[in-house]
Amino acid sequence: MKRSVLTFLTLFFISGIVYAQGTQQDSIEVLKNWSLFFEYFKTGDYVSAVPYGWKVMEMQPTRFKTLYKAMEKIYLKFYEEAPEEKRRGYADTLLIIYDNAIKYHPENASEYYLRKAYVLENYYTGRDSEAIVAYEKGIELDFEHTEFYYIDRLGVLYIKHMEENPDFREKAIDLYRKVLDKDPQNVTANDRLRMLVKDITELIELNKKRLETDPENTELIWTIANLYIRAEDFKNSIPYLEKLTKKFPDNEIYWNRLGYSYQRIGEYRKAIDAYNRSLKINPDAKEIILNIAVCYRELENFEQARVWARRAMAKDKNWGRPYIEIAQIYEAAVAKCVKTTKGGDWTKIEFVDKLVYQLAVEYYELAKRIDPSVANEANQRIKNLETLVPTQEDYFFNKRKIKDGKIPITGGCYDWIGESITVPYKI
C-alpha cells in the first residue's frame, strides 16, 4: 500500500514538472513571437510581422494589449493599398481583430465596438444594421468619453433608416438630446435635432393644457420648458424654468437650463447669474464654467472671459474646449479692436493684430494636441485664419521685436493679454 502511494506521488510530482516546463516553454515561445512581430512592425515590414502577430494572438490573446491596435493598423494599411477586389478580405480580417480585442480586453471594448461599427458602415455595402448595433454597444459602454464623431455616425444611420424603422427617429432624437445635455453649443447636434423635430408646437400645447389642470406638476413644467428649448424658443422656456428654480433653488440642472436659455436669447448677464447659482451647488461643473466664459466673451469682457476659460481648463487638463474658447476670445478681441480703432476697415489691420491671431492659432493647436475630439473644429478655425496671421515678411520687418524666438503682445487694445507668440519662421 505504501509503495502504491509513493508511486502515485512520484508520478504526480513528475507530471507537475513536465507541466511547468511546458508552460515555461510556451511563455518563451510567445515572447519570441512577440519580439519578432514588434521588430518587424516597428520597421514597417508589415508582411513579415503578420504571421507572428497571429501566433501571439493564438497562444496568449490577453497578454499584449497593444497587439490588437498594431494588427488593426497593419490591416487598415493593407485595405487602403489593396485593389478593390481584395479589399473585402482585409475588411473581414479587421472584424476578426476587433472581435478578439473585445473578447480578450473588455476594458477597451467601447473603443473596439466603435471601430468595428465604422468598418461595417464604410467598408461594406448593406451592413448598416450591424453597424448600428456595434455603434450602440460602444456608445452605451462609455458615452462620456465617446468622440462625438462616432455618436453622430450612429445618429446619421438612424436618420437614414427612419422610414423602414420608425423607432429610429425617437432614438436619434434621444441621442442628440443627450449630446446637447453635455454640450449645449454643439452645432451639428443642434442642426440634426432641428431636422428631426419639425412640429413640436402641438406637443407643447398638449402639455400646457395638461398643466392647466395640475399647475404645480413639476414634471409637466420641466417637460414644457425642455420642449420650448428643443423648439429653440428659449424666451418662452424661461418662465417655466424660473418657476422651477424658485420651487427648487438647490437644483443645479434647473439653474443650468435657465442660464442656457438666457444665453441663447442674448441676456448674458442674467445667464451668468443663473450659471453662478448652478456652480454654488456643483462647483466642479466644467461645462458651466466654460459657458460663463462664453457669456463674458459675448459681452466683450475679454479679460474676464479668459479668467473663466482658464478655470474650466484647470478642471480638466485633457479637455480641449477651454483652449478653443481662449482662441475665440482672442479672435473676438481683434474684431473689436478693428471696429473701434479702425472704423471696421480690415485693410488697416496692423502687425499686432496679426500677432493676436497667431496666438489664437497657437491655442487651437494646443486644443487639438491635448484633445483629439476637437481636432476637426480646431483645424477648420486654423484654416480660416491663414490669411490673417503674420507672414514671414511681416516677421522680417519686425525682427527687432523678436527675443529668443518670441514676440510679446503689448499695446493698444491688447495690454491685458500678457502673452507671447512663438515665431514660426527662422528670421
CA nearest neighbour of 116 among 164, 76, 144: 76
User: How many contiguous H segments (helices) and E segments (strands) does the chain have?
Assistant: 20, 2
Average pLDDT on 302-330 reads 97
CA nearest neighbour of 185 among 245, 263, 254, 253: 263
Tell me how far apart the alpha carbons of residues 175 and 188 are, in angstroms, rounded to a whole number.
Answer: 12
- pTM given for the model: 0.57
* Surface-to-core class of residue 392, CB atoms within 10 Å of its CB (0-12 exposed, 13-18 middle, 19+ buried): exposed
Is residue 266 predicted with pLDDT exceeding 70?
yes
The secondary structure element, H or E, covering residue 117 is helix 109-122
Residue indicated by cell numbers 441663447: 264
What integer pLDDT is reported at residue 181 of this predicted model?
67
What integer pLDDT is reported at residue 12 of this predicted model?
35
Name residues whose C-beta falls within 8 Å of residue 326's C-beta, 6 or more positions apart in sequence.
306, 309, 310, 313, 363
CA nearest neighbour of 374 among 156, 110, 147, 118: 147
What integer pLDDT is reported at residue 25 of this predicted model?
57
Is residue 43 predicted with pLDDT exceeding 80?
yes
Residue indicated by cell numbers 496671421: 389
Tell me how far apart the alpha carbons of residues 208 and 37 are, in angstroms, rounded to a whole number.
Answer: 66
Measured CA distances, 12 to 8, 23, 379 (Å): 6, 16, 66
What integer pLDDT is reported at residue 158 of this predicted model?
97
Summarised one tens digit per residue, pLDDT across range 62-74 is: 988 899 999 999 9
Q: Can you read off the three cell numbers belonging to residue 111?
A: 473603443
Is residue 412 a contact partner of residue 352, using CB atoms and an 8 Å limit? yes
Q: Can you read off the three cell numbers belonging to residue 324?
A: 478653443
Summarised one tens digit per residue, pLDDT across range 77-94 is: 999 999 999 999 999 999
Is residue 1 predicted with pLDDT exceeding 80?
no
What integer pLDDT is reported at residue 205 of this predicted model?
81
CA nearest neighbour of 388 among 416, 352, 415, 424: 352
Q: Can you read off the three cell numbers belonging to residue 358?
A: 497667431
Tell me how far apart the alpha carbons of residues 43 and 125 are, in angstroms, rounded to a whole number.
Answer: 34
What integer pLDDT is reported at residue 16 of this predicted model?
38
Strand, helix or coil for residue 88? helix
Strand, helix or coil for residue 238? helix
For the beta carbon of residue 220, count every other beta carbon within 10 angstroms: 18
Strand, helix or coil for residue 182? helix
